[in-house]
Structure 1
Amino acid sequence: MAQATVPATAATPAITPISLKAIAPWAVFFGVLMLILLYFVGAEQGATSLLSGETVHEWVHDGRHLLGFPCH
């Protein structure tokens, strides 16, 4: 039985690691973004309200219950 061989022209692409210096700004950006989202879902319209009214509370109401934050 003959074995199939890979032609010499079909080279596998080299995998280069991404440096921590390249990832760090994006990690910080998304970390801050997640903290802001967590604030608006968990604490906005509470004791530390930044915005007046009930609009933000109504937008994130179901997400608040899904994540276990009390709101009533």
Structure 2
Amino acid sequence: MADTLAPAPSSIPVAPVKLPVRAILPWAAFFGLLMLVLLYFVGAEQGVFSVFSGEGIHEWVHDGRHLLGFPCH
């Protein structure tokens, strides 16, 4: 019964997938921009460069500010 549980050896060689840079570049730019916006909200929002009024965004990202080393109070 132990013989039926063992996986069958694969005889098909698996070649690595090659992705062209042109396929990755738009996604890398998108995620890079997304990370910059997130860094802005965590690091600078409700400070000198405040875009939104109030304390809502500051309270949402308060612990993240401390984790990344940004002073906020």
- Report TM bin, short chain: 0.7 to 0.9
Q: Does 1:28 align with 2:57?
A: no
Cα distance in structure 2, aligned partners of 1:60 and 1:15: 40
Flag structure 2 segments of 5+ consecutive residues without an equivalent: 1-8
The Cα RMSD (Å) is: 1.4
Cα distance in structure 1, aligned partners of 2:22 and 2:48: 38
The one-letter amino acid of 1:71's match is C
Q: Any runs of at least 4 consecutive aligned residues in structure 1 with deviations exceeding 3 A, and if so which?
A: none
The within-5 A match list for 1:1-72 is 10-72=11-73
Cα distance in structure 1, aligned partners of 2:18 and 2:29: 19
**Could you tell me the TM-score, scaled by structure 2's length?**
0.83
The one-letter amino acid of 1:45's match is Q
Measured after TM superposition, the shift of residue 10 of structure 1 is: 2.1
**Could you tell me the TM-score, scaled by structure 1's length?**
0.84
Measured after TM superposition, the shift of residue 14 of structure 1 is: 1.9
Show the counterpart of 2:3.
none
- 1:6-59 deviation per Cα after TM superposition (whole angstroms, max 9, x unaligned): x8x821222121110010000000000000000000000001111110000000
Secondary structure of 1:51 counterpart: coil
